[in-house]
Amino acid sequence: MNKQQPNNKLHDLTAPPDLKKSNGTGPISHRHPIYQDYRPPCNQKCPAGENIQGWLDKVYKKEFEEAWQLLIEDNPMPAIHGRVCYHPCETSCNRENVDNAVSIHQVERHLGDLAIKHNWKPRIKNRKSHKKVLVVGAGPSGISAAYHLCRLGHDVEVRDAGPIAGGMLHFGIPAYRLPRDVLAQEVKRIEDMGVKFTLDHMVKNLREEKEQGDFDAVFVAIGAHVSKKINIPAREAGRIMDAVSYLHDVGEGKQLNLGRRVAVYGGGNTAMDAARTAKRMGAKDTMIIYRRDMKSMPALPFEAEEAMEEGVKINWLRTIKEIDVDKITVEKMKLDESNKPVPTGEFETLEADSLILALGQNIDSKLLTSFPEIEFEQDGAVKVNEQMMTAATGIFAGGDMVPSERTVTIATGHGKKAARYIHAFLSSQVYKPPVKTPVVDFKSLHLWYHTDAEVSEQPMISIEKRTQSFDEVLGGLSDEEAIYEASRCYSCGNCFECDGCYGACPEDAIIKLGEGKFYTIDYSKCTGCNACVLQCPTAAIHMVDDESI
């Protein structure tokens, strides 16, 4: 069977000479079919806007480098995202309704790793614009914006206060999830494209830096690095630190004396990373204290499951009331009718030599005060318009700085989106996002060719070895496994020339145009019987009113 061949253009139609005339073979319908590819849900849910179905198709055809080139048109760091993205594309995959979603992140990681291994280079065709753009922040959003602006022909400089590019990719995500050599290689590729990285450089006055550098536009994406504070009564506190600083110090290779027993307060992914890192730093007993239950935690379930597999104990429905040296008094909570935690008046004592607070992060926006017209939300997030521009002309912002969910892939998507608008700003144009077609849901598919094909199992090092080092926990796929996983894609919304419509039409109104050219319809024969639509497995044929043809 032919595999998916996404085609985002309308197929050519044979214009009907007169839809009201019958060829004598059946009743005349006021509705007729057209070929039009719709969006698959994976593409629609990807925060980076990847054409997932498109590059999966090329993987299936063993065109690995072409698949990678298509992927990096939207996302410059597939080896990173294949490891750290929480893959909402898979959550929305229609195959999830049958067996298991296509393991998109594993195939993406495989392409990213192949690019590093074979030193593939992005193909860039745009001419130099001689416009200069300053990007403040070398995290995922800043790197993404710099990459896309460079592809669009602009001169880009990234300035960051840290000693290493990557931001929270380096200082917030432990090496067992994101090996440092993978991050370095992805950044180096972008640097080799011509993006300049200036590190150990804290931008304090944005207006001054813009004017002195003669930059035509600025994109600010410094991320959320300031830990939220909480007041906990303490008679005599033991060692207390915030998770961001803690993970940052670990990322710099500092040796921290946490003691034998470590407690982490919080229920997000950062809390899980802090606890798992503590185990690798030598803590014998590591626990998490969280005020809600597992269903309500912000961390993804697999994060908590992997932490528990490694011996991290999670104390659900607990909140810290007091600290006294190595004693932590917690109050038991219960969930009310609205699923909110409420106190029970019952207390217990836990023992810990160190306490790590993982309660979320805020942004530090002092560098923007040189532009007093820039406005902020109540939580400190920067206000931007639909073009991601602040109230100051030519000053754009994205990533964790603006109101949004805070994930690596969302930040990367912000960088791409901002680059499009910055390019339009520099070109004195207006960028208009392409019109999106409807998303195909599972009920729209007619999967007459379905066969069971279980998802590929991602290799993983043993639990015993995990906590002994910062070696990467999850392994990658082979070429053959990646091809198999790509073959599981249903090609939702896009024709792949299965001939279902051709064989189903009782009037011979479907005309094959040749391999790769798809089909057209002879409307002088078509009676609008709907047979072709019902035989289309991918929902790439749709019935419309005659006036729409």
pLDDT tens-digit readout, 340-389: 999 999 999 999 999 999 987 777 788 888 999 999 887 778 999 999 99
What's the rounded Cα separation, in Å, for the pair 472 and 179? Answer: 6
Q: Which of 15-24, 236-245, 310-319 has the highest mean pLDDT?
A: 310-319
CA dihedral 79, 101, 466, 228 (to 10 degrees): 80
**Residue 355 domain-assigned (yes or no):** yes
What's the rounded Cα separation, in Å, for the pair 400 and 142? Answer: 11
**Residue (of 164, 147, 182, 193) closest to 412 by Cα position:** 147
**Residue 269 domain-assigned (yes or no):** yes
The confidence score (pLDDT) of residue 15 equals 38
Longest CA–CA separation in the chain, Å? 94
Coil/strand/helix, residue 306: helix
CATH number for the domain harbouring residue 513: 3.30.70.20
**Residue 302 domain-assigned (yes or no):** yes
pLDDT tens-digit readout, 397-432: 999 888 788 889 999 999 999 999 999 999 999 898
The confidence score (pLDDT) of residue 380 equals 78
Domain shared by 303 and 313, yes or no: yes
**236: confidence class by pLDDT, cuts 50, 70, 90:** low
The confidence score (pLDDT) of residue 55 equals 98
Domain shared by 201 and 103, yes or no: no
Average of per-residue pLDDT across 94-116: 96
The confidence score (pLDDT) of residue 4 equals 41
Number of compact structural domains in the chain? 4
The confidence score (pLDDT) of residue 331 equals 96
Q: How far is CA 195 from the centre of its chain?
A: 23
Burial class (CB in 10 A: 0-12, 13-18, 19+), 530: middle
Domain shared by 240 and 294, yes or no: yes
**Side-chain half-sphere CA neighbours of 447 within 13 A:** 17
Paired strand residues for 512 = 519
Of 326, 359, 392, the last residue of a domain is 359
**Residue 2 domain-assigned (yes or no):** yes
Domain shared by 255 and 306, yes or no: yes
Domain shared by 238 and 351, yes or no: yes
The confidence score (pLDDT) of residue 379 equals 75
Domain shared by 112 and 143, yes or no: no
What's the rounded Cα separation, in Å, for the pair 549 and 534? Answer: 19
Q: Is the pLDDT of residue 3 over 90?
A: no
Coil/strand/helix, residue 333: strand
More confident call, 43 vs 171: 43
Domain shared by 169 and 217, yes or no: yes
CATH number for the domain harbouring residue 379: 3.50.50.60
The confidence score (pLDDT) of residue 20 equals 38
Flag whether the pTM goes above 0.75: yes
Domain shared by 353 and 247, yes or no: yes
Range of the domain at 19: 1-37+494-549
